């Protein structure tokens, strides 16, 4: 299985601390050695860094750890391949354009017997993973139901959750999806999240010998939510999602969730 990471914040924030822990799972504390990627949103634009090498050995990953890019919305992924060969086109995150915005997606899990059901005409995969095909299918269904961006964006995310329920029938489907303003997380079996706000404290990574005192790195008004496959710290209380549960975050705050 792969590992996912995302961040939603109300002010531009770097993800160096969490990313440092995630990178270790790509070959040191975990078996996810088949590539990695990360997308940072800035306004309506986004920048993506990918490498088919293990994150723990990647010079590009070392750059990200050393260069604190600040963003309000970040999505990252480290891959353990099960569908599709190890190559750049099969490396997450995947991005498509819908309603005039870049949508970015990552998936953890494996699907089987899905090809006949997931027919795509406009949003066509570049690689040959089940993950990218599922993303294209979601985008295609969204566009069919909402040719224009709906006034109530919550309705669109509720529809995505229904599509994710369908995809979960083919296997494990943990995913994150973002348009730069919102981040949606859908849990099939493993996803956790934590919201940090004042009063801030210290956090200790599980996968690396690193401690950060967020009280010295933030202002009293900062709100930052981190979502990950498994908790990244061992001295904080993470919210563990249940199978079939979904959440949407905006500027660090919980915006919508399953009932």
Range with the poorest average pLDDT among 10-14, 87-91, 194-198, 215-219 = 215-219
Q: Which two tokens stand for residue 75?
A: 């999505």
- Residues serving a catalytic function are 2
pLDDT cut 90: percent of the chain above it: 70
Which residue in this structure is represented by tokens 């950060």? 212
Question: The whole model's pTM is what?
Answer: 0.93
Q: CA-to-CA distance for 220 and 30, rounded, in angstroms?
A: 35
User: Which residues in 172-192 are b (16+ Cβ under 10 Å) and which e?
Assistant: bbbbbbbbbebbbbbbbbbbb
Q: CA-to-CA distance for 113 and 149, rounded, in angstroms?
A: 31
Cβ atoms 13, 251 nearer than 8 A:
no
State the alpha helices, DSSP H only, in 30-152. 59-66, 130-145
Residue 46 has pLDDT above 90, yes or no: yes
Q: What is the reported pLDDT for 157? A: 98
Q: CA-to-CA distance for 155 and 63, rounded, in angstroms?
A: 38
pLDDT category of residue 250 using cuts at 50, 70 and 90: very high
Residue 73 has pLDDT above 90, yes or no: yes
Q: What is the reported pLDDT for 1? A: 63
Which residue in this structure is represented by tokens 């504390």? 29
């Amino acid at each position: 299985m792969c590992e996912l990471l995302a961040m939603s914040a109300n002010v531009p924030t770097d993800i160096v601390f969490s990313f440092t822990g995630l990178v270790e799972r790509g070959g040191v504390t975990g078996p996810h050695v088949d590539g990695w990627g990360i997308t940072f949103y800035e306004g309506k634009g986004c920048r993506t860094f990918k490498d088919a090498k293990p994150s723990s050995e990647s010079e590009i990953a070392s750059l990200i750890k050393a260069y604190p890019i600040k963003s309000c919305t970040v999505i990252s992924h480290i891959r353990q391949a099960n569908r599709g060969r190890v190559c750049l086109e099969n490396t997450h995150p995947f991005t498509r354009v819908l309603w005039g915005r870049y949508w970015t997606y990552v998936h953890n899990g494996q699907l089987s017997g899905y090809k006949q059901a997931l027919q795509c005409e406009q949003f066509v995969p570049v690689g040959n993973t089940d993950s990218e095909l599922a993303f294209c299918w979601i985008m295609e269904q969204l566009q069919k139901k909402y040719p224009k961006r709906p006034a109530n964006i919550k309705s669109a995310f509720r529809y995505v959750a229904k599509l994710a329920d369908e995809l979960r029938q083919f296997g494990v489907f943990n995913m994150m999806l973002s348009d730069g303003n919102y981040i949606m997380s859908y849990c099939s079996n493993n996803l956790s999240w934590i919201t940090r706000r004042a009063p801030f404290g210290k956090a200790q990574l599980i996968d690396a010998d690193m401690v950060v005192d967020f009280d010295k790195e933030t202002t009293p008004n900062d709100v930052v939510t981190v979502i990950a496959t498994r908790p990244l710290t061992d001295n904080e209380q993470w919210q563990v999602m249940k199978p079939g549960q979904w959440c949407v975050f905006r500027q660090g705050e919980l915006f919508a969730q399953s009932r």
